[in-house]
A and B are shown apart, each in its own frame.
Chain A
Amino acid sequence: MPWNWKKNRLGRAKTAESPEEPLTRPALAWLLAALVLAAAPHASELPVWLSVLFAAMAGWRGFIALRGKSLPPRWLLLLLALLAGAGVLIDYRTLFGRDVGVALLVAMVACKLLETRVLRDGVVLVFLGYLLVMSNLLYSQEIPMVAYLFAVVLVMLAAQALIHRPHAGLRGVAPLRLAGMMVLQAIPVMLILFILFPRIPGPLWGLPKDAYKGRTGLSDEMMPGTVSELVRSDAVAFRARFGGVMPPPNQRYWRGPVLWRFDGRRWTRHEELPANIPTTFVPEGVAMDYSVILEPSNRRWLFALDLPARLPPRVGMTASFQLLRDQPINEVYRYEMQSYPNYRTGELTVAERFRGLQLPVRGNPRARALAAQWRERMSHPEDRVGAALALFREQAFYYTLTPPLLGADNVDDFLFRTRQGFCEHYASAFVFLMRAAGVPARVVTGYQGGEANDLGGYFIVRQSDAHAWAEVWLAERGGWARVDPTAAVAPGRVRDGLYAAVLNPELLPFLARRGGGGEYEWLRQLALSWDSLNNSWNEWVLAYGPDRQKEFLSGLGFGPVDWAEMTVAMTVTLGGFGLLVIGWRWRQRGTHDPVARAWQRFCARLARRGLARGPHEGPLDFTERVATSRPELASSVREIGQLYAHLRYGPIGASSDLRLLRHLVRRFRV
C-alpha cells in the first residue's frame, strides 16, 4: 500500500482524525449537490440576487474542485460576505425574522462554500445543510415537499459519510446506498420517537413577527371587502369528518369570530374571556359528532357548527359560543367536536342586551329612519326581522364579488344606492337595521357550506366558503337565532355554494368552483383525490401534536397519561425494539455457518432419541458412541461425523463436501 512513514512521523496528530484533512473531490461533489438541493426550494421566496449568488458560488466552487484551482483569497471572501450581508439587510430592512433568517443562512452557506477545503469546513457545511432542510419545513410540510426533503437528507448523509477521508473507499453510488440503508433502519426508531416522545406545546419563546407570514384566514374584524377578498382563495381552511349523519346544507354554518362592536365602518370583537367549560344552552334534538382538522391560521379560534357543546384540550369557550385556544393555531390541528343544530340559548344578560343594541352615535340616518318605522309598526321583533329580509328579497339587491365602493354612511349607501354587495355587506346592513329597530343582534363570521369529498368521506371547507351572517335575539325563539340575510338575496349560496350563487363566478379560483368545473371537472375530481391523500396526511401525521398524542395514548387503554409515563413508555418501547434487533442478530449469527447448521440439525435429531452430545464430546467421539449403541446407524453416523470433522477442522473443504453433508443430514433418520 502507498505509505509514507516520513510524512507520518512529522504529522503529530493527537486525535484519530485531523480536522485539517483536505476534502476529496467526490466528497465535495456530494456536498455541493446536497446543499444546492437543500437550498433550491427557497428560490421562490428569496430575492433573486441571492438565489443567483448562491448558484454562482456553488458553481464556482465546483469549477475550482474540477480544475484543481486554488480557492479565492480571504479578502475577496470577506468582501463577498459583507456585500451579501448588506444586501440582505437592505432587502429585508431587519435582521430578525423567519424570512431574513433563511436569507442569511443561504448567504452564509454560499460564502462558506468558497472557503471549504478541509474536513472541519465540510462538517460545518453539513450541519448548515441540515438547518436548511429544517428551514424548508417552516414553509411547507406537504407531502411533495417532505418527500423531496427526504431525498435531500439522503444525499446530505452520503456527503456526511464522504467528507471523512478514510471513508473515501465508498465509490459511485455506495455512499447513497449506505445513507439509504441507514435511514431505512432508522425509521422504526424514528416512528417510536415521533409517537412517544413527550411533546411540549410551543412556542417556548417569542416567534418573529413573520413566522407565519402568508397564512390566509378569517380575521377578527369585518369591513366591506374583507370576506370578498378572502373568498378569492381556494386554500383549505379546514376539513371535517362526521361520525354519523352529515348536516344538511342549511345547517353547515361553521361558527367563527362573533363581532359585536360597530364603529360605522368596521365590525370588531368584544373581548370576552373564554371559560374552560362549554357555555350552557338548552339543546333540542340530537347532537352531531365530528372531528375537524384545522389548517394553520395563526389565529386562536377554532371553528364548529352551531352550537358547539364540547371543549378540546387547551380550548375555552366565550359566552357567544366562540372557541378559543390558548395558543394560535400554527400547526395542523385536529379536534373532536360535538354540536347541536337545534338549540335555545335562553335569557339575555343586561350587558349582552346593551352590546347587542350598540350603534355609533351618528351616521346612516336613512337606515335608522327605516328601522324606526318598523319598530313603530311592528310590535313583534320577529316581524321586524322578516321586514328586513323581505327588503333584501324583494328589492333589486345583487350578490357580487366586486361591490362598488361605499361612502361615509356606508349602510345607507348600500341599502339605498348601490344595492350590490357580498355577504359582509348584507350581514352588516342587517344587523345595523335590527339594532336600530331595537332587536339585539350581532354579526357572526365563519364559513358556510363545504364540499363533500366522497373519496375520503369528509368535508373540505375552503377560504372561498368564508361567510358572514347575523344572529338576533328573539324571545319567541328562546334566545339567539341565526339569520342569514345573504340567503334572502341569493338562496343558492347556502344550497349550492358560492360558485352557483354569485354574479361573477369567473373571479373564483379553480378549486372553489364546486359543481361548475365544466370541461375541466375531471381535473377538479383528480384534485379532490389528491386532497383526500393530503387529508390523511394532515389527520394522522401533521396533526399529531401534544393533544393528539395524549388522546392517542389514552385511546390505547392506558387512561390519561402524563409526560413521565410517556417517557417510560418510550424508553420501554425503544428497549424492546433494541432487544428484538439483538435477538434477531443473534439468530442470524448462530445460523450463519452452513456447516454448523447441518451439524446442529443432526445433533438435535439424535438428542430427540436420547442420544444427546455431551459438551466434552468431539464429533468423532460422539458419532463413535452413537455407532456403538445403535449399530444399525453406525455407517451413516460415522460418515457424517467424519465429514463434519473434515469440514470443520481440516483444510478448506470443497463445496461438494458441504453439499454431501447437508444431503446426508437431510436423509438421516433415527
Chain B
Amino acid sequence: MSRGLRQRFEAWVTRGQRPARQPVRLDRRRIYILPTRQGYAFALLLLLLFLWSINYSNSMGFAFTFLLSAVALNSMWRAHNNLLDLVIQPGGIEPVFAGQDAQFSYRLDNPDAEPRHGVALQWRDRSPHYTDVSARGSATVVLAVPAKRRGRLRPGRLRVLTRFPLGLLQAWSWVEFEQDCLVYPQPRGGRSLPAAMAGGTGSGLGEQGVGSEDYAGFRPYAPGDSPRRIAWRAAARTDRLLVKRFTDQARPELWLDWRLLGAEPVEPRLEQLCQWVLKAEGEGCEYGLRLPGREIPPASGEIQRRRCLEALALFAGGDG
C-alpha cells in the first residue's frame, strides 16, 4: 500500500475514535490483523508443500502441510489475543526544549493470567518499542517524539502492535490520548545577559526590586506571597495581614525583556529569552520576564524557571 493510501485508510478506520482521557482497553473492534511479508512468504511455503504432497501423493505430507496451516491460523488468534484487553494509559510527561525528543511514557497493564510477549508501541514510522507484560503485571514504554517547535506537542495516534508468536501476522490497534508535552523554545542566541538594574525600570506593575536581605517596612498581603514573609506579630496588632518588605541592594533586578531584542523576529527573540532564562537561573540570579501582555516578577528557583519557560513556550502573537 502506498503511503498516502495507508494514511487515508488509517484515518477512515479510526474516524470514530476520539482522543481518550482515560486508560484505553483494547477491545475486539479496534484490533486489526494482517499478514507480514514473512507471513506471505510462509503462505508460499505452504503452497509449495501442498503441491509437493499432491505430486508425491504423500499422505503425511498433506497432514504436515495442514498442520502448519492450522498453526498459522492459531498464530493469528494468538496475535489478536496478545493485544486483546491490554490496558494502555499515558504517564506523566516532562517538558523539553525544541529540538529535543519529548519522552511520552505509557503504562501497559495486562489483566490476564498469561504473560504477553513482544507488544510494542510505535509512533508513526519510528521503530517500535517492544516490551513484555508479565501476567497480571504492567510494563512501561517510553516513546521519543521529536519536538520540532515550541508549544504544546501532541503525539497523535499511536500504534500498538505485536507479531507474536511466529512473526507471520501483525496485529495492531490505534490509540490516541488527550495528552501533550510542553515544548520550550530552543535556547539559542548570541547575546549575553542584559545588565541588572537597581530599582524599577519604569513599569508600574509588580514588586520590582524586592529582595530578601534588607528589611524595608511592611506592605499589605497579596495572594501569592510566601507565608514565611508574613509579619505575624504585626498582623496580630493591626488585624491586617502584613508582609515584610525587603530590598536587595547586592543583587539588582534582572529583567529579561522582550523589548530589549528590538528588531528581531518572534522566534529568535523567544529563543534568546529562553537562553537568558537558563543562564540567569544557572548564575543564581533573580530574574523577571517581560513579554508583551505578560510579566513575571523577578524570582529564582525551579518554579520561576518553569513559569518563565512556560510563558515563552506558549507565547502567542506579539509583534513588536
Contact = CB atoms under 8 A, between A and B. Distances in A.
A542 B60 contact: yes
A425 to B, nearest CB: 36
Contact of B59 (A127, A161, A164, A545): A545
A5 B58 contact: no
Given A166-B163, A186-B73, A13 B127 contact: yes
Contacts of B101: 5, 9
A201 B54 CA distance: 7
B66 A166 contact: no
Contacts of A189: 66, 69-70, 73-74
B4 to A, nearest CB: 15
B119 to A, nearest CB: 8
Contacts of B127: 8, 11-13, 18
A182 B120 CA distance: 22
Contacts of A541: 59-60, 63
Contacts of B66: 189-190, 193-194, 197
Contact of A202 (B48, B54, B130, B140): B54
A123 B41 contact: yes
Nearest to B3: A14
Contacts of B165: 161, 167, 178, 182
B70 A187 contact: yes
A240 interface: no
A204 B170 CA distance: 34
Interface string A627-660: 0000000000000000000000000000000000
A199 B57 CA distance: 9
Contacts of A13: 125-127
B291 to A, nearest CB: 32
Contacts of A190: 63, 66-67, 69-70
Contact of B57 (A3, A8, A163, A203): A203
A5 B144 contact: yes
Interface stretch (A104-112, A134-142, A405-413, A519-527): A134-142
B57 A331 contact: yes
B70 A330 contact: no
B31 to A, nearest CB: 15
A80 interface: no
Interface string A584-620: 0000000000000000000000000000000000000
Interface string B137-149: 0011110101000
A543 interface: yes
Nearest to A13: B127
A12 B140 CA distance: 22
Of A134, A138, A197, A332, which is in contact with the most chain B CB atoms at under 10 Å from its CB? A134
Contacts of A75: none
Most buried by B among A14, A16, A183: A16
A166 B68 contact: no
A486 B38 CA distance: 64
A190 B67 CA distance: 5
A183 B117 CA distance: 19
Contact of A544 (B51, B59, B122, B139): B59
Contacts of B146: 9
A186 B60 contact: no
A137 B64 contact: yes
Nearest to B134: A169
Interface string A173-192: 00000100011011111100
B142 A3 contact: yes
Contact of B129 (A3, A188, A204): A3
Interface in A417-444: none
Contacts of B117: 166-167, 169-170
A33 interface: no
B56 A203 contact: yes
Contacts of A169: 115, 117-118, 132
Contacts of B122: 16
B221 interface: no
A437 B100 CA distance: 109
Contacts of A187: 67, 70
A160 B55 CA distance: 27
A123 B42 CA distance: 9
A182 B78 contact: yes
A1 B54 contact: no
B60 A153 contact: no
Given A164-B118, A167-B118, A202-B56, A153 B144 contact: no
A104 to B, nearest CB: 15
Contacts of B45: 127, 130-131
Contacts of B54: 199-200, 202-204
Given A12-B125, A201-B57, A204-B51, A194 B63 contact: yes
Nearest to B66: A193
B94 to A, nearest CB: 13
Contacts of A202: 53-57
28 contacts: A5-B103, A14-B125, A16-B122, A16-B128, A127-B42, A131-B45, A133-B64, A134-B49, A134-B61, A137-B58, A138-B56, A157-B71, A167-B117, A178-B165, A182-B165, A186-B71, A187-B70, A190-B63, A193-B69, A193-B70, A197-B66, A202-B53, A202-B55, A203-B54, A204-B54, A332-B59, A541-B60, A541-B63
Q: What 10 A-B pairs come out closest when comparing CB atoms?
A: A186-B70, A166-B118, A189-B70, A166-B130, A331-B57, A13-B127, A169-B132, A193-B66, A5-B144, A141-B60
Given A153-B67, A165-B130, A199-B62, 19 more contacts: A3-B142, A9-B146, A16-B128, A123-B167, A127-B41, A131-B48, A137-B60, A141-B60, A166-B117, A166-B120, A166-B130, A169-B118, A186-B67, A189-B66, A189-B69, A194-B66, A204-B51, A207-B55, A332-B59
